[in-house]
Structure 1
Amino acid sequence: MKKLMTLTTLAALAMPAMASAQDGYTFALVPKAMNNPFFDLARDGCYAAQEELDDVTCEYIGPGEHTEMEQIQIVQDLISRGVDGIAVSPSNAPAMAKALQQAVEAGIPVMTWDADLLAEDADIRATFVGTKNYDIGVNLANITQERHPDGGTICLQTGGAAAANHNERLKGIRDTLAGEDMGEAPGTPLDGQGGWTEISGCPLITDDDGNKAVQGMTDILAANPDLTAFVSTGAFTQWFDNAYRQAAEPYKAEMDSGEMSIIVADTLPMQMEQLADGLSNGQVGQRPYEMGYRSMFILKDLVEGNEVEDPIYTGLDVCTNDNAESCLGGDS
């Protein structure tokens, strides 16, 4: 259910923040990792908003690689410095909630983007902007079902084990394939429900590491030649184009015939080229540029005492081999 939040609901944030208005605002956009091309697009959106807002500086800062504790330390440093607002994509939702509570107590408005806090901690942040992550899983599963209506064996690949966004995507996949509620996120592994069974060794945890992701896929496909579907909740599997192509190419004939499928979240440029070349069978894309862009406007609204909606969803693009040339930028 949506709700409206104002700055006054967040422990009297208005006075400390408004004091800095005469000098302009510095808002931090904190990704999970800065070596991630998905977050590069959010950075670009953040900088575009900075150009439009004369009194706003976008500070894009995060761990060089996906490191949960380093991200928390960066947020704590931002609090100590007294930035005017923080937008963060939490790697570890429970731990980040504690850090963001410190920001609220310091009078700094906070929001999440891309990944959210757990439901029990949602009141700490003013709003979430990004994807309805459960729906990513639903759409990944829908593509899988369309290609394999009789079910089969499946390996799921995900990001960090404590990342709330990826766990919601896993639940969306499992609920949809099973045709029933598989419990709290990330859901119970499939064991025949809806005709689907998750193989031993999955889900694969990647920690948002592209090398680890493509190696995990390579090993699973080699060890399970009769696998029906490999489904990944994040783009990490496909970041390194040459490595991914080498891993997927041996299975292209099965992918073309419909015997096997590789279906992955996100629609980054290299991913769309892989889809067009028949080296994936589906992509469910988010809109990271819009997340970074809108975060700056949302924080400005918050710091100036205006209402913001919660949550704010940025939509999805659902792409297959059949619509790869026309699927991006829709209003879904």
Structure 2
Amino acid sequence: MTDPRARFLPLGALTAAVLMTAACGGTTIDDAQDEGAGGPTGTADPDAEIPEGLAVDFLPKQLNNPFFDLVNAGGTEAVEELGGEATERGATEATADSQVEYINAAGQAGSDVIVIAANDPDAVCPALNEARDGGAVIVGYDSDANCTDVFVNQSSNELIGRALVDMVDGQLDGEGEFAILSATPNATNQNAWIEEMEQILDDEQYSGLELVDTVYGNDDDLESFQEMQGLVQSHPDLDAVVSPTTVGLAAASRYVSDSEYQGELVVTGLGEPSQMQEFVEDGTVDEFALWDPHELGYLAGYTGAALQTGQITGAEGETFTAGDLGEYTFETDGELVLGPPLVFDADNIDDHDF
């Protein structure tokens, strides 16, 4: 029987030449194109068919994380619609070392597509580059690495950063101290959103807000709960906490809901309606935001298949159809955006079941 991966090796090898040099920092994408290595502005074949049997591996930051469970479910649905086989790999702790082990396992299993939410932008790259050498294409989502072929962004960093600042600003009437409870110190997505928040806070309209601290719960429920406790103890005048991670927001909300701070301390950030409903109903949280994680995984699955079979290269302006989500266009080289974040409150939280 012919190995179905053999049909995909040429594109994987083409992509490897560009991304490995780009990851080392010594050669730009344009330089690689001049050298005949192809790259994200190479020639795509929009009419290329996606054959059955595509092997797609999904590597979340950690297993048993409700957000990533939903993402992987969406990705699996997309792969199954395409007649492929989806595999979820990972550890229960959100570390780069654990991800490297499972990247290697995916490569050894002959993965055609690796879809990853990176725990570190650089530490996972040697393993990802080796998998690319074996014919895989690499799709980042949620938190990008510096060596992916394409990144499927849940929203733009600017849109997310502004949504987080605006929710704090609105609930504090433009004045007060707030802190950030983030995920891991090396998480590229949270760091990018926090950087955007800091830049937005320089605007005159937000002059009454003061960011006093940023702490990290490492996307662990207990650790995030303890960090939240530490914040209120360290900052007696704290008015709000923003958590740009679903685990952190749920833990922070649980702490406040059972404390003297309920109704006094604003808690907001990025969370899932299913996790946050009880805290909205009991008055702990007025509003929070997120995108549909199922749709994020679904789009990443279709993107990986289209990339591996040559329908797209990831170049700006390329368009393809992502199943039930419809048509998507690369607005910039190598990055696809799902859409703007949704804001949830008591009026609409019952309309969403993820």
Does TM-score exceed 0.5, indicating one fold? yes
The code of the aligned residue for 1:38 comes to F
Deviation string, structure 1 residues 84-135 (Cα, Å, up to 9, x no partner):
1101000001112332222222221111011112xxx35x423434332342
280-289 or 305-314, which moves further after superposition?
Answer: 305-314
Corresponding residue number in structure 1 for 2:208:
195
* Residue identity matched to 1:156: I
CA deviation after TM superposition for structure 1 residue 277, in Å? 2.7
Corresponding residue for residue 127 of structure 2: 99
Q: Write out aligned runs for 1:218-297 (5 A).
A: 218-239=229-250, 244-249=253-258, 250-254=260-264, 260-297=265-302
| 1:238 positional shift | 4.0
Check 1:316–1:163 CA distance in 2 against 1; reply closer, same or farther (3 A cut). Answer: same
Which stretch of structure 1 is more off in the superposition, 155-164 or 273-282?
A: 273-282
* 1:102-113 equivalent positions in 2, closer than 5 A: 102-113=130-141
Partner secondary structure for residue 10 of structure 1: helix
By how many angstroms is 1:328 displaced?
Answer: 5.4
1:41 corresponds to 2:50: no
Report the TM-score when normalising by structure 1. 0.78
Per-residue Cα deviation, 1:16-57 (whole angstroms, up to 9, x for no partner): xxxxx8771210011000021000101211222233222x00
Picking from 172, 190, 201, the partner of 1:148 is 172
- Flag the 1:150–1:302 CA change in 2: closer, same or farther, 3 A: closer
Aligned AA for 1:166? Q
For residues 237 and 23 of structure 1, do their structure 2 counterparts lie closer, same or farther at Cα, with a shift above 3 Å needed? Answer: closer
Which amino acid in structure 2 is aligned with residue 53 of structure 1?
L
Q: 2:310 aligns with which of 298, 305, 308?
A: 305
What letter corresponds to residue 169 of structure 2 in structure 1?
A: Q
- For the aligned residue pairs, the C-alpha RMSD in angstroms reads 2.7
Aligned to 2:227: 216
Does structure 1 conserve the Cα–Cα contact (< 8 Å) formed by 2:67 and 2:272?
no
Q: Aligned residues, how many?
A: 291
Instruction: Give how far 1:12 is off.
Output: 7.3
Find 2:339's aligned residue among 301, 306, 315: 315
Superposed CA offset, 1:249-273 (max 9, x none): 422232xxxxx41112123412133
Deviations 1:248-301 (A, max 9, x none): 3422232xxxxx411121234121332233211321102211122122222221
Judge conservation of contact 1:317–1:328 (CA < 8 Å) in 2.
no
Task: Note if contact 2:243-2:249 (Cα within 8 Å) is conserved in structure 1.
Answer: no
Does structure 2 conserve the Cα–Cα contact (< 8 Å) formed by 1:157 and 1:233?
Answer: yes
Name the SS of the counterpart of 2:86 in structure 1: strand
Distance in 1 separating the partners of 2:217 and 2:185: 9
- Distance 1:169-1:67 versus aligned 2 partners, 3 A rule: same
Aligned-partner SS, 2:123: helix
2: distance between equivalents of 1:76 and 1:127?
20
- The amino acid that maps onto 1:212 is E
Look up the match of 2:8: none
8 Å CA contact 2:225, 2:255 repeated in 1: no
Contact 1:228 1:261 in 2 (8 A): yes
Gaps of at least 5 residues in structure 1 are 1-5, 14-20, 181-192, 255-259
- The answer to which of 205-214 and 261-270 deviates more is 261-270
For residue 165 of structure 1, what is the aligned residue in structure 2? 189
Residue 82 to residue 36, structure 1, CA distance change in 2 (3 Å) = same
**Aligned match of 1:185:** none
What is the distance in 2 between the residues matched to 1:265 and 1:22? 37
Q: Which residue of 1 aligns with 2:152?
A: 128
Structure 1 residue 244, shift from structure 2 partner: 4.2
Q: Would the alpha carbon gap of residues 41 and 205 (structure 1) be closer, same or farther in structure 2, given more than 3 Å must change?
A: same
Greater displacement, 57-66 / 93-102: 93-102
